[in-house]
A and B are shown apart, each in its own frame.
Chain A
């Protein structure tokens, strides 16, 4: 579909995130496919977690240890791409801050941060992708994760790629800037508040008439899909990369048997 803006190939280290690794590997396969379409040589180095749960849980020491582990695994690539705004934001925005007083690591953290991108941002803005060949019939709403939107500046990119899909009708939910209530451990520590926020988001998504809700962060998507399953709501939830890579016909999140 599209090669690099300048036609050259680049080496991309894919940081798949722990949720994708464990719960929904097809998102990572979809990301690999899209990156290869965009002229990238994709590698997946051994990895665990970016450290965000520790970082947000107040455990800065363990977060720093995990950050160093990830830096060592990822810094050799031309680019690091993450199919999650939240984990990408951890590397790009928070690693330099977390390691700013660590003389041995601060420069390495900065360097890695500069070349780390959220998947859709990378495809569109770094690799010049404008369209995908995959098709999808139906009404689809895109859910902005807070990290993608406010931390990584992802907004038009996924919408642009989704809109390029034949048959896909993109719906806009009325309050895209409002958090869905996931927030990592927040969803476990404050389930009632988190669920109310999810319900508001689900009502918003339903009002668009969308049959499918897609997004760029599996955490939000598992939270919303799990809440809808609990309430008997019928909107299918998938990562947008799955759709864009032509894997939108696989069972949605929580549907699989």
Chain B
């Protein structure tokens, strides 16, 4: 799932040389940051709302076992089915079995990061079931055989002309001289293709933004309405989601929705908010005949009992990505994991282990902007620091970093030694600088000198000068 160690730097390098990606990333500010800021300015007391959101999510995690049982009971009472999946493999097997039992050959899908996490599409294809992504962004990256680069805007990394190119390549049944040079034209093109899939799909799969224990409901928010067509039209509807999404009441969702949509897209509310509480009932005009919920753990129970626990409060708004200066430079794919940005840096090591995700919590300047925008006040940098502690305890990465840090700390714990070592270091650096005010290259701290010069140290440290002045 995650990139092997050290591939991160290469992927980041590639991302920084990718003109199309860099062009897209320039839109983060106007497209996300400014809209979020405006949406929060419209609130009377945004900090109280954030605190309310945090409290709801924290409480839900503290009562997770009871809430999940309550949720399961309610779903069953509503005529639906609940399936528990310990890991990605179990989740894939459950979904595949349900589809096979219903003879499904084609499945429409609403946007779901959990389905990305379990790599569901590739698995379904191997079992001769065709998954069709119906969220426009997800559909585009499915055509291109790519992964989402952003949890809210999966095709964020692409420019319009690249989408046009993909449509012309893949939509071979449509005429070659149609115009696809505007956003509305692209949407119309996708809609024409999608309509057929909605009408003929054997089953529909969606994710869930929230699960409600008191009603047994799964809730999704969309702006395209694709979620509703995905879950209403086919005979079978499967919700693929994860255990931490549950909250006690519908009223809780009302609070979280206000935070989610403002934080994600700067909207007061999305175009569609869909509450899904089981199969079609007698008298209902439409709806699925069968309603299944697959609840994925995949390491979350372990995270719940760890110092990274609060990352499970996450409501997947993407604000931390949108405000992260590292994400803003390298985009989502370079992280090499399902969840990019600060969210991923705090979550992925818990899902995949720190050995393969070492760079994620380390490639952060700890600027703290993610902490300041998180709608449910997750201490993201504190959790990243926890993963750094884990890595250090396991002597990751192999190499000189840990040894150098220990050596430095050993000196810093002995002021006389520190003074001596600092004095020597200053002399060496000064001789290297010669008559210049700066050093341009040096055998250690290569990363520093790769990008910048180093100012020349002072001839005498402040403490030496200060003591001399005082005596």
Contacts and interface: CB of A to CB of B under 8 A. Distances in A.
B9 A186 contact: no
Contacts of A22: 422, 425-426, 457-458, 461
A59 B409 contact: yes
Contacts of B448: 187-188, 191, 226
B280 interface: no
B418 A48 contact: yes
Interface stretch (A2-10, A117-125, A127-135, A174-182): A174-182
B329 to A, nearest CB: 5
Contacts of A63: 409
Nearest to B324: A179
A28 B362 CA distance: 31
A255 B9 contact: no
A174 to B, nearest CB: 10
A183 B367 contact: yes
Contact of A60 (B389, B425, B437): B389
What 7 A-B pairs come out closest when comparing CB atoms? A183-B365, A58-B392, A226-B452, A25-B462, A179-B367, A58-B388, A62-B409
A183 B369 contact: no
B409 to A, nearest CB: 4
B415 A179 contact: no
A167 interface: no
Contacts of A150: 367-369, 371-372
B453 A230 contact: yes
Given A62-B406, A179-B367, A193-B12, A57 B452 contact: no
B385 A190 contact: no
Contact of A182 (B363, B365, B368, B436): B365
B368 A254 contact: no
Interface in A144-163: 146-147, 150-151
A192 B9 contact: yes
Most chain A beta-carbon contacts within 10 A, residue among B16, B435, B445, B448: B448
Contacts of B43: none
Given A23-B457, A69-B413, A226-B455, A257 B435 contact: yes
A20 interface: yes
A111 interface: no
B398 interface: no
B471 interface: no
B88 interface: no
A197 B329 contact: yes
Given A25-B461, A57-B388, A62 B9 contact: no
A228 B281 CA distance: 68
Given A28-B466, A191-B450, A58 B365 contact: no
Interface string A188-204: 11111111111010000
A143 to B, nearest CB: 13
Contacts of A190: 9, 12, 362-363, 447
A65 to B, nearest CB: 6
Contacts of B465: 25, 29
A183 B415 contact: no
21 contacts: A21-B462, A21-B463, A22-B425, A25-B465, A48-B412, A49-B418, A54-B405, A56-B385, A62-B405, A150-B372, A183-B367, A186-B363, A191-B448, A192-B9, A193-B12, A195-B450, A222-B454, A227-B451, A254-B453, A254-B454, A254-B455
B368 A146 contact: yes
A221 B102 CA distance: 64
Nearest to B362: A189
B340 to A, nearest CB: 14
A92 interface: no
Interface in B389-412: 389-393, 401-402, 405-406, 408-412
A249 interface: no
A188 B401 CA distance: 10
A97 B392 CA distance: 19
A147 B388 CA distance: 19
Interface in B416-471: 418, 422, 425-426, 435-438, 440, 445-448, 450-458, 460-463, 465-466
A46 B414 CA distance: 11
Contacts of B160: none
Given A22-B457, A58-B389, A193-B330, A198 B408 contact: no
Nearest to B450: A191
A220 to B, nearest CB: 10
Given A22-B461, A46-B463, A254-B437, A146 B366 contact: yes
Interface string A5-49: 000000000001010111111001100000000000000101111
B438 A179 contact: no
B27 interface: no
A21 B415 CA distance: 13
